[in-house]
A and B are shown apart, each in its own frame.
Chain A
Amino acid sequence: DTVLTQSPALAVSPGERVSISCRASEGVNSYMHWYQQKPGQQPKLLIYKASNLASGVPARFSGSGSGTDFTLTIDPVEADDTATYFCQQSWNDPDTFGAGTKLELK
C-alpha cells in the first residue's frame, strides 16, 4: 500500500502562514486530497486533486504538489483552524490516508 507520511504536529500563531506536508512512498500523480477534522467531528474535504479548493472552503486554504510531495498551506491561520489535517491518495489501490498533522495555535 502507498504510505503517506505527515509530520505529527505543528504550532503556529494566528495570522501566520503554515505549510503542512504529505510525502507519498510512491507516485500518486495529482490524486492527493486534504481533509480537516476537528475534535469530535467528522472529516471535512478541503482540497481535492492536489490544488482544487472544495466548495465553501475559505481561500485561505490552498494545496500544491504532484508526484510524491504535496503541501497544504493555510494563510493566514485563524483560531478556528485548530484541527488535525489528513492527506489521502487515490491513485494507487487501495486508497490510503496519512496519519494526520495536528495543528495547534499558540
Chain B
Amino acid sequence: EVQLVESGGGLVQPGRSMKLSCAASGFTFNNYDMAWVCQAPKKGLEWVATISYDGSSTYYRDSVKGRFTISRDNAKSTLYLQMDSLRSEDTATYYCARYWELRYFDYWGQGVMVTVSS
C-alpha cells in the first residue's frame, strides 16, 4: 500500500524558515517524480514544486522561486521542502504527492499545516 506521511509543519514567524518532510513507503520511491501541492484555508489547490525521480530536475511555481527548495533522499525514501523567507500568504496545508508520468498526482499524503504569523 502506498503511503506518504508528511511532518514538520507548525507555526512560524514571517521571514523565518521551515522544513517539511514526507516519508514514502509501499512503492519504489526512486522510480517516481514527486511534488508538493498546497491548499490555503478554505481555498483551492495550488501546485508548489516538483522534483524528478533522481533529483536532477526541479520545478517551482513563480511565487516560491528563490525561497523554497524541493529535494529528496532516495536512500531514505523521503521528500523534503525547505521553505525560507516565509510570508503570511504561504499559510496553507502542504501535501506531498506522487507525480505520475502522465502528469497527475496519483497518491497524496494526509497533509501538514503551515501557519505563518507573528
Contacts and interface: CB of A to CB of B under 8 A. Distances in A.
Interface of A: 31, 33, 35, 41-45, 48-49, 54, 86, 88, 90, 93-100
A49 B61 contact: no
A45 B100 CA distance: 11
Interface in B51-96: 59, 61-62, 95
Given A42-B111, A43-B108, A96 B102 contact: no
A94 B44 contact: no
A13 B99 CA distance: 35
B92 to A, nearest CB: 13
28 contacts: A31-B102, A31-B103, A42-B110, A42-B111, A43-B95, A43-B105, A43-B108, A44-B108, A45-B104, A45-B107, A48-B102, A48-B104, A48-B106, A49-B102, A49-B104, A86-B45, A88-B105, A90-B102, A90-B103, A94-B47, A94-B61, A95-B103, A96-B47, A97-B44, A98-B44, A99-B43, A99-B44, A100-B44
